[in-house]
Structure 1
Amino acid sequence: MTAADKFGIAFSIGFTVALVAVAMSFAGMSQTTVQPMPAPAPTPAPAPAPAPAMSAKVSIPSGSSVPGCEATNECYKPAEVTIGVGGTVTWTNDDTAAHTVTSGSINAGGPDGVFDSSIFMAGKTFEHTFDEAGEYDYFCIVHPWMTGKVIVE
Protein backbone atom coordinates (compact mmCIF):
# COMPACT_ATOMS: atom_id res chain seq x y z
CA MET A 1 0.00 0.00 0.00
CA THR A 2 1.41 3.32 -1.02
CA ALA A 3 1.42 6.53 0.92
CA ALA A 4 -1.20 7.96 -1.42
CA ASP A 5 -3.46 4.99 -0.73
CA LYS A 6 -3.02 5.45 3.04
CA PHE A 7 -3.79 9.15 2.67
CA GLY A 8 -6.94 8.43 0.63
CA ILE A 9 -8.17 5.92 3.22
CA ALA A 10 -7.44 8.33 6.07
CA PHE A 11 -9.16 11.15 4.21
CA SER A 12 -12.20 8.98 3.50
CA ILE A 13 -12.45 7.85 7.10
CA GLY A 14 -12.09 11.44 8.38
CA PHE A 15 -14.66 12.73 5.94
CA THR A 16 -17.05 9.94 6.90
CA VAL A 17 -16.62 10.66 10.62
CA ALA A 18 -17.30 14.35 10.00
CA LEU A 19 -20.36 13.51 7.93
CA VAL A 20 -21.66 11.19 10.65
CA ALA A 21 -21.10 13.93 13.28
CA VAL A 22 -23.05 16.43 11.21
CA ALA A 23 -25.85 13.92 10.63
CA MET A 24 -26.02 13.17 14.36
CA SER A 25 -26.26 16.83 15.20
CA PHE A 26 -29.20 17.15 12.81
CA ALA A 27 -30.74 14.05 14.32
CA GLY A 28 -30.35 15.59 17.76
CA MET A 29 -32.13 18.69 16.56
CA SER A 30 -35.23 16.71 15.69
CA GLN A 31 -35.50 15.72 19.33
CA THR A 32 -35.39 19.35 20.42
CA THR A 33 -38.72 20.81 21.43
CA VAL A 34 -39.58 23.80 19.30
CA GLN A 35 -41.50 26.44 21.22
CA PRO A 36 -44.36 27.92 19.22
CA MET A 37 -44.27 31.66 18.76
CA PRO A 38 -46.82 33.38 20.95
CA ALA A 39 -49.76 34.91 19.16
CA PRO A 40 -49.43 38.66 18.77
CA ALA A 41 -51.35 40.70 21.31
CA PRO A 42 -54.63 41.97 19.90
CA THR A 43 -54.65 45.60 18.89
CA PRO A 44 -56.98 47.49 21.22
CA ALA A 45 -59.88 49.26 19.61
CA PRO A 46 -59.54 53.03 19.58
CA ALA A 47 -61.28 54.74 22.46
CA PRO A 48 -64.62 56.18 21.47
CA ALA A 49 -64.89 59.93 21.33
CA PRO A 50 -66.24 61.34 24.56
CA ALA A 51 -69.94 62.07 24.53
CA PRO A 52 -70.80 65.75 24.42
CA ALA A 53 -71.79 67.37 27.69
CA MET A 54 -75.46 67.43 28.53
CA SER A 55 -75.27 70.92 29.98
CA ALA A 56 -73.28 74.10 29.59
CA LYS A 57 -73.12 77.42 31.39
CA VAL A 58 -72.58 80.73 29.60
CA SER A 59 -71.88 84.03 31.32
CA ILE A 60 -72.85 87.44 30.04
CA PRO A 61 -69.84 89.17 31.59
CA SER A 62 -69.66 92.61 33.12
CA GLY A 63 -69.06 95.27 30.49
CA SER A 64 -70.51 93.34 27.56
CA SER A 65 -73.19 96.01 27.11
CA VAL A 66 -70.48 98.37 25.82
CA PRO A 67 -69.13 97.77 22.30
CA GLY A 68 -65.67 96.17 22.22
CA CYS A 69 -66.25 92.68 23.63
CA GLU A 70 -66.91 91.45 20.08
CA ALA A 71 -63.27 92.18 19.15
CA THR A 72 -62.12 89.40 21.50
CA ASN A 73 -65.28 87.28 21.15
CA GLU A 74 -65.99 87.65 24.87
CA CYS A 75 -69.49 89.11 24.90
CA TYR A 76 -70.72 85.69 25.97
CA LYS A 77 -68.25 83.47 27.86
CA PRO A 78 -67.68 81.06 26.33
CA ALA A 79 -68.85 82.35 22.98
CA GLU A 80 -69.36 78.80 21.69
CA VAL A 81 -70.51 75.70 23.58
CA THR A 82 -71.10 72.11 22.49
CA ILE A 83 -73.73 69.88 24.09
CA GLY A 84 -75.53 66.65 23.28
CA VAL A 85 -79.08 66.36 21.97
CA GLY A 86 -81.39 66.89 24.93
CA GLY A 87 -78.78 69.05 26.68
CA THR A 88 -79.45 72.38 28.35
CA VAL A 89 -77.57 75.67 28.20
CA THR A 90 -77.93 78.12 31.07
CA TRP A 91 -77.02 81.77 30.49
CA THR A 92 -76.36 84.01 33.50
CA ASN A 93 -76.46 87.80 33.25
CA ASP A 94 -73.34 88.83 35.17
CA ASP A 95 -73.48 92.36 33.72
CA THR A 96 -75.25 95.38 35.24
CA ALA A 97 -77.33 95.95 32.08
CA ALA A 98 -80.35 94.03 30.83
CA HIS A 99 -79.74 91.58 27.95
CA THR A 100 -81.40 88.96 25.76
CA VAL A 101 -80.33 85.59 24.44
CA THR A 102 -82.12 85.33 21.11
CA SER A 103 -81.62 82.63 18.48
CA GLY A 104 -80.72 83.75 15.00
CA SER A 105 -78.22 86.19 13.59
CA ILE A 106 -78.39 89.96 13.25
CA ASN A 107 -76.59 89.51 9.89
CA ALA A 108 -79.00 86.84 8.61
CA GLY A 109 -82.37 88.44 9.18
CA GLY A 110 -82.54 88.66 12.96
CA PRO A 111 -84.40 86.28 15.29
CA ASP A 112 -85.29 82.85 13.91
CA GLY A 113 -87.79 81.91 16.64
CA VAL A 114 -86.01 78.85 18.05
CA PHE A 115 -85.46 80.43 21.50
CA ASP A 116 -85.64 83.85 23.12
CA SER A 117 -85.04 84.84 26.71
CA SER A 118 -86.80 88.18 26.38
CA ILE A 119 -85.05 90.88 28.38
CA PHE A 120 -83.55 89.58 31.59
CA MET A 121 -81.92 91.66 34.27
CA ALA A 122 -78.57 91.47 36.05
CA GLY A 123 -78.20 88.38 38.25
CA LYS A 124 -80.95 86.45 36.44
CA THR A 125 -80.63 83.31 34.32
CA PHE A 126 -82.22 81.89 31.20
CA GLU A 127 -82.01 78.29 30.06
CA HIS A 128 -82.98 76.40 26.95
CA THR A 129 -83.00 72.66 26.21
CA PHE A 130 -81.93 71.64 22.70
CA ASP A 131 -83.81 68.63 21.32
CA GLU A 132 -82.34 68.60 17.80
CA ALA A 133 -78.77 68.40 16.54
CA GLY A 134 -77.48 71.46 14.74
CA GLU A 135 -75.73 74.79 15.13
CA TYR A 136 -77.65 77.60 16.77
CA ASP A 137 -76.38 81.16 16.45
CA TYR A 138 -77.68 83.68 18.97
CA PHE A 139 -77.29 87.36 19.86
CA CYS A 140 -78.54 90.08 22.20
CA ILE A 141 -81.31 92.18 20.64
CA VAL A 142 -80.42 95.13 22.90
CA HIS A 143 -76.67 94.89 22.12
CA PRO A 144 -76.45 93.27 18.65
CA TRP A 145 -72.64 93.06 18.64
CA MET A 146 -72.99 90.34 21.27
CA THR A 147 -73.04 86.97 19.46
CA GLY A 148 -72.59 83.32 20.41
CA LYS A 149 -73.19 79.81 19.15
CA VAL A 150 -74.53 76.52 20.55
CA ILE A 151 -73.49 73.32 18.76
CA VAL A 152 -75.72 70.33 19.47
CA GLU A 153 -74.33 66.90 18.52
Structure 2
Amino acid sequence: MSLNFSYGIIAIVGVLVAISIGFIAVSPDYVPEPRVVGESVKSTAPVLPMSLIVSLPTGSGVPGCDETNECFLPYDGAVAKGATVTWNNDDSAAHTVTSGTPSDGHDGLFDSGLFMSGSDYEFTFEDAGTYDYFCMVHPWMVGIIDVN
Protein backbone atom coordinates (compact mmCIF):
# COMPACT_ATOMS: atom_id res chain seq x y z
CA MET A 1 0.00 0.00 0.00
CA SER A 2 2.87 2.35 0.62
CA LEU A 3 4.01 1.85 -3.00
CA ASN A 4 0.62 3.06 -4.36
CA PHE A 5 0.71 5.97 -1.92
CA SER A 6 4.19 6.90 -3.16
CA TYR A 7 3.04 6.83 -6.80
CA GLY A 8 0.10 9.08 -5.88
CA ILE A 9 2.35 11.61 -4.16
CA ILE A 10 4.79 11.57 -7.10
CA ALA A 11 1.90 12.13 -9.53
CA ILE A 12 0.53 15.07 -7.51
CA VAL A 13 3.99 16.64 -7.18
CA GLY A 14 4.55 16.18 -10.94
CA VAL A 15 1.28 17.92 -11.78
CA LEU A 16 2.08 20.80 -9.40
CA VAL A 17 5.56 21.19 -10.93
CA ALA A 18 4.10 21.25 -14.44
CA ILE A 19 1.56 23.93 -13.44
CA SER A 20 4.31 25.99 -11.75
CA ILE A 21 6.51 25.81 -14.84
CA GLY A 22 3.53 26.91 -16.94
CA PHE A 23 3.02 29.99 -14.75
CA ILE A 24 6.71 30.84 -14.85
CA ALA A 25 6.84 30.47 -18.65
CA VAL A 26 4.01 32.96 -19.16
CA SER A 27 5.13 36.58 -18.90
CA PRO A 28 3.26 38.60 -16.25
CA ASP A 29 2.64 41.31 -18.88
CA TYR A 30 1.09 38.89 -21.32
CA VAL A 31 -2.66 39.24 -21.69
CA PRO A 32 -4.18 36.88 -24.21
CA GLU A 33 -6.26 38.60 -26.90
CA PRO A 34 -9.64 37.12 -27.73
CA ARG A 35 -9.84 35.66 -31.19
CA VAL A 36 -12.77 36.81 -33.27
CA VAL A 37 -14.24 34.12 -35.43
CA GLY A 38 -16.59 35.01 -38.27
CA GLU A 39 -16.84 37.31 -41.24
CA SER A 40 -15.00 40.58 -41.21
CA VAL A 41 -17.14 43.70 -41.30
CA LYS A 42 -16.69 45.60 -44.54
CA SER A 43 -16.84 49.37 -44.58
CA THR A 44 -19.93 50.71 -46.26
CA ALA A 45 -18.62 54.24 -46.61
CA PRO A 46 -18.59 55.22 -50.28
CA VAL A 47 -15.25 55.86 -51.90
CA LEU A 48 -15.45 59.06 -53.90
CA PRO A 49 -13.70 59.28 -57.26
CA MET A 50 -10.61 61.39 -57.88
CA SER A 51 -11.94 62.43 -61.28
CA LEU A 52 -15.29 63.12 -62.88
CA ILE A 53 -16.35 63.82 -66.46
CA VAL A 54 -19.36 66.09 -66.92
CA SER A 55 -20.97 66.31 -70.35
CA LEU A 56 -22.66 69.36 -71.82
CA PRO A 57 -24.96 67.25 -74.02
CA THR A 58 -26.36 68.04 -77.44
CA GLY A 59 -29.22 70.51 -77.13
CA SER A 60 -28.19 71.93 -73.76
CA GLY A 61 -27.91 75.37 -75.37
CA VAL A 62 -31.69 75.36 -75.95
CA PRO A 63 -34.03 76.09 -73.00
CA GLY A 64 -35.77 73.01 -71.61
CA CYS A 65 -32.89 70.88 -70.33
CA ASP A 66 -33.25 72.71 -67.02
CA GLU A 67 -36.69 71.15 -66.47
CA THR A 68 -35.09 67.69 -66.08
CA ASN A 69 -31.65 68.79 -64.78
CA GLU A 70 -30.00 67.47 -67.95
CA CYS A 71 -28.06 70.56 -69.04
CA PHE A 72 -24.93 69.11 -67.39
CA LEU A 73 -24.65 65.32 -67.06
CA PRO A 74 -24.42 64.49 -64.25
CA TYR A 75 -26.27 67.47 -62.82
CA ASP A 76 -24.96 66.81 -59.28
CA GLY A 77 -21.49 65.23 -59.27
CA ALA A 78 -19.61 64.03 -56.18
CA VAL A 79 -15.82 63.77 -55.93
CA ALA A 80 -13.11 63.50 -53.30
CA LYS A 81 -11.08 66.49 -52.15
CA GLY A 82 -8.24 67.06 -54.65
CA ALA A 83 -10.22 65.55 -57.54
CA THR A 84 -10.24 66.96 -61.07
CA VAL A 85 -13.54 67.52 -62.87
CA THR A 86 -13.52 67.67 -66.67
CA TRP A 87 -16.42 69.27 -68.55
CA ASN A 88 -16.76 68.07 -72.17
CA ASN A 89 -18.70 70.29 -74.57
CA ASP A 90 -20.68 67.72 -76.58
CA ASP A 91 -23.14 70.38 -77.79
CA SER A 92 -22.88 72.32 -81.06
CA ALA A 93 -22.98 75.66 -79.20
CA ALA A 94 -20.19 77.38 -77.28
CA HIS A 95 -20.57 77.39 -73.48
CA THR A 96 -18.88 78.43 -70.24
CA VAL A 97 -18.48 76.60 -66.95
CA THR A 98 -18.53 79.33 -64.33
CA SER A 99 -18.63 78.96 -60.55
CA GLY A 100 -21.56 80.68 -58.87
CA THR A 101 -25.23 81.00 -59.76
CA PRO A 102 -27.07 82.88 -62.52
CA SER A 103 -28.75 85.14 -59.93
CA ASP A 104 -25.57 85.98 -57.97
CA GLY A 105 -23.10 85.77 -60.86
CA HIS A 106 -19.53 84.51 -60.94
CA ASP A 107 -18.09 83.91 -57.46
CA GLY A 108 -14.47 83.95 -58.66
CA LEU A 109 -13.47 80.32 -58.01
CA PHE A 110 -13.35 79.03 -61.58
CA ASP A 111 -14.39 80.09 -65.07
CA SER A 112 -13.68 78.24 -68.29
CA GLY A 113 -14.23 81.23 -70.49
CA LEU A 114 -16.02 80.47 -73.75
CA PHE A 115 -15.18 76.96 -74.96
CA MET A 116 -16.32 75.59 -78.27
CA SER A 117 -18.00 72.36 -79.32
CA GLY A 118 -15.69 69.36 -78.95
CA SER A 119 -13.41 71.01 -76.41
CA ASP A 120 -13.15 70.54 -72.66
CA TYR A 121 -12.32 72.38 -69.45
CA GLU A 122 -10.75 70.99 -66.27
CA PHE A 123 -10.69 72.23 -62.69
CA THR A 124 -9.20 70.60 -59.56
CA PHE A 125 -11.18 71.04 -56.34
CA GLU A 126 -8.76 71.42 -53.41
CA ASP A 127 -11.31 72.17 -50.66
CA ALA A 128 -14.38 70.30 -49.46
CA GLY A 129 -17.73 71.96 -50.07
CA THR A 130 -20.69 72.27 -52.42
CA TYR A 131 -19.97 74.24 -55.57
CA ASP A 132 -22.70 75.64 -57.81
CA TYR A 133 -21.84 76.46 -61.41
CA PHE A 134 -23.62 77.64 -64.56
CA CYS A 135 -23.15 78.68 -68.18
CA MET A 136 -22.92 82.46 -68.59
CA VAL A 137 -24.16 82.22 -72.20
CA HIS A 138 -27.12 79.97 -71.30
CA PRO A 139 -28.07 80.81 -67.67
CA TRP A 140 -30.65 78.00 -67.43
CA MET A 141 -27.73 75.58 -67.51
CA VAL A 142 -26.81 74.93 -63.87
CA GLY A 143 -24.97 72.15 -62.04
CA ILE A 144 -23.48 71.21 -58.69
CA ILE A 145 -20.21 69.58 -57.62
CA ASP A 146 -20.05 68.12 -54.08
CA VAL A 147 -16.50 67.73 -52.77
CA ASN A 148 -15.96 65.62 -49.62
Q: Which TM-score band (shorter chain)?
A: 0.7 to 0.9
> C-alpha deviations, 1:52-73, integer Å up to 9, x for none?
1000000000111110000010
> C-alpha deviations, 1:95-137, integer Å up to 9, x for none?
0100000000113x11101100000000000000000000000
Once the two structures are TM-superposed, the CA of residue 80 in structure 1 deviates from its matched residue by 1.1
Which one-letter code corresponds to 2:123 in the other structure? H
Distance 1:80 1:49 in 2: 19
Structure 1 stretches lacking a partner, 5+ long: 1-38
Q: 1:64 aligns with which of 54, 60, 63?
A: 60
Which one-letter code corresponds to 2:37 in the other structure? A
Which residue number corresponds to residue 131 of structure 1?
A: 126
Distance 1:130 1:118 in 2: 18
Which one-letter code corresponds to 2:87 in the other structure? W
Which residue number corresponds to residue 140 of structure 1?
A: 135
SS at match of 2:86: strand
Distance 1:48 1:70 in 2: 33
Structure 2 stretches lacking a partner, 5+ long: 1-34
Which residue number corresponds to residue 151 of structure 1?
A: 146
Q: 2:88 aligns with which of 89, 92, 95?
A: 92
Q: After TM superposition, where is structure 1 displaced by more than 2 Å over at least 4 residues in a row?
A: 39-46
SS at match of 1:71: helix
Distance 1:95 1:63 in 2: 6
SS at match of 2:109: strand
Which one-letter code corresponds to 1:144 in the other structure? P
Which one-letter code corresponds to 1:74 in the other structure? E
Which residue number corresponds to residue 75 of structure 2?
A: 79
Which one-letter code corresponds to 1:151 in the other structure? D
% same residue: 53
Which one-letter code corresponds to 1:80 in the other structure? D
Q: Which has the larger radius of gyration?
A: 1
SS at match of 2:66: helix
TM-score between the two structures when normalised by the length of structure 2 = 0.73
Distance 1:53 1:40 in 2: 33
